[in-house]
């Protein structure tokens, strides 16, 4: 059951590690590989399931099938066309990437976890390469809720990002593999 917040303002400070990994690819090539590994959320299918109030197990099955590596793209932000108007020539595409069936396992304890789910990730660099992949370590911000079950899901997301990076042929930072 969700915690009911008090009416008093609450300010929680916490530390977040931004992780950036390099690749041997150009940003355009790495983006193509990333988007093949992390497909778009099947929004129309999810909407139909919501409209008919499908059982949650059906949602779990559909998303498990749609997200073989555990993640889906919810939104893509291609900043390049706008930034080029200002004379910038760097490549950067940001994504909202996640899995609402995983997010639900935190939401049930604290709906405000949706501040950080889906995750924000970015592929960036010089157009000729190499590409960089940046994200904030999920367990850092999910642990700020002070709930061990939410923190455990954050650590699971750390490992899932590590698995995605390994699948994409990128060195997995040690910080994603260890529990703190």
pLDDT in tens, 88-107: 999 999 999 999 999 999 99
Structure tokens at 97: 């990437």
Total tally of structural domains belonging to the chain: 1
- Is 179 inside any structural domain? no
- Is 59 inside any structural domain? yes
What number is the average pLDDT over the span 151-176?
A: 96
Tell me, what's the pLDDT at 12?
A: 86
- Is 13 inside any structural domain? no
Interior angle at CA 164, CA 44 and CA 117, nearest 5: 55
Kindly tell me if the per-residue pLDDT of 179 is higher than 70. no
- Size of the chain, expressed as the number of residues it contains: 180
What number is the average pLDDT over the span 54-80?
A: 97
What number is the average pLDDT over the span 28-43?
A: 98
Kindly tell me if the per-residue pLDDT of 85 is higher than 80. yes
CA nearest neighbour of 1 among 114, 100, 110 = 110
Q: What share of the chain is helix, strand, coil (3-state, %, to 5)?
A: 45, 20, 35
Tell me, what's the pLDDT at 9?
A: 83
Q: How far apart are CA 156 and CA 101, in angstroms?
A: 13
Tell me, what's the pLDDT at 3?
A: 58
- Is 151 inside any structural domain? yes
Kindly tell me if the per-residue pLDDT of 79 is higher than 80. yes
Strand pairing of 18-22 and 132-136? Answer: antiparallel
Q: What CATH number is associated with residue 26? A: 3.30.310.70
- Is 5 inside any structural domain? no
Tell me, what's the pLDDT at 178?
A: 73
Range of the domain at 140: 18-172
- Is 10 inside any structural domain? no
CA distances from residue 78 to 46, 114, 146, 178 in whole angstroms, order as listed? 24, 22, 34, 32
Q: Sign (positive/negative) of CA torsion 47, 48, 54, 60?
A: negative
- Is 108 inside any structural domain? yes
- Is 31 inside any structural domain? yes
């Amino acid at each position: 059951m969700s915690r009911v917040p008090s009416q008093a303002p609450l300010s929680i400070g916490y530390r977040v590690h931004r992780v950036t990994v390099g690749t041997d690819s150009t940003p355009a090539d790495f983006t193509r590989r990333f988007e093949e590994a992390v497909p778009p959320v099947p929004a129309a299918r999810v909407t139909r399931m919501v409209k008919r109030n499908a059982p949650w197990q059906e949602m779990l099955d559909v998303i498990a099938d749609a997200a073989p590596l555990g993640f889906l793209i919810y939104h893509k932000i291609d900043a390049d066309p706008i930034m080029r108007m200002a004379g910038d020539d760097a490549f950067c595409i940001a994504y909202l990437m996640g899995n609402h069936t995983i997010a639900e396992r935190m939401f049930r304890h604290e709906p405000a976890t949706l501040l950080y789910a889906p995750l924000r990730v970015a592929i960036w660099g010089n157009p000729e390469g190499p590409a960089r992949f940046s994200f904030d370590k999920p367990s850092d911000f999910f642990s700020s809720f002070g709930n061990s079950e939410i923190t455990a899901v954050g650590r699971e997301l750390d490992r899932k990002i590590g698995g995605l990076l390994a699948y994409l042929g990128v060195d997995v930072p040690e910080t994603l593999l260890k529990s703190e």
